Amino acid sequence: MKKKKVIGISIVVIALIIGCVCFNMFSQSKTDKGIAYLQAQEKLKVEDIQEELNKKKQAELQSAVEQGNLDVFSLVDDFVFYGDSRVMGYYVYNLLDANRIFAGSGNTLYNVSDWDEQLRSLNPSNVFISYGVNDMGSDLDNDYEGGYEGLAKVQMNHILEIVPNASIYLCSIIPCSPEVTKEKPYWAKYEDYNSKLQKACNAVEACTYVDVTGLADGGNANIYSGDGIHFSPSFYTDWLTAIVNKMD
């Protein structure tokens, strides 16, 4: 009887030991996974995390606009928008306040200072900039002593001298249609000019580069008016959405 009792106790003890070992192994496994996750998070750069958050924000904003749940034009009010005849479309189509559109036909980066008085009066928090078509046509990269990159930096710093607390959003050049570019080859230089714009933006702390070139799909997207240079009204929603996506 005693022997059976001892055997029974031994079996219970062994079972308890096995149970403890299994529990510890399971707990250790969960702990190891938790440590591995934390270590992986530590390795992530702040820039990578911010990029993921920006992508999520962009997707949510784009979805809301596409579903008609959000009017992107209502999200911008304290701004000015520098540019050429392409930018003029924002007020020609009654999309944004005409008083805040600092644009004219044939305008280039050289025309920034033409709007100094209005800039000082409005004192905006956000400055949008989009030139390029006329700049390439006028060969400003060779015309200006410091090249197109140098000119862009000078003009952005000029703006910041007047509105030092403003944030600048510098748009890349959107290409023309292939048919138009074939007729005027200088418009094919947009990638080179965009590279210089991006470098200029990186050199100005208050500047954020907005790459909208992809919206044109190499000039093949259905975004143009009949001339292959200017844009149809519907495109301005996508363009402004891309800018708003970059705003804090």
Question: pLDDT tens for residues 34-64?
Answer: 555 555 555 556 556 555 555 555 555 556 5
User: What digits encode the pLDDT tens for the residues 67-90?
Assistant: 555 899 999 999 999 999 999 999
Contacts of 198 (CB under 8 A, 6+ apart): 172, 209, 211
Distance of alpha carbon 7 from alpha carbon 220, whole angstroms:
84
Q: Which of 244, 204, 196 is nearest to 81 (CA)?
A: 244
Check pLDDT > 70 for residue 7.
no
Domain boundaries, the chain: 78-246
**pTM score of the predicted model:** 0.77
The highest-level CATH class for domain 78-246 is alpha beta
Distance CA 237, CA 239 (A): 5
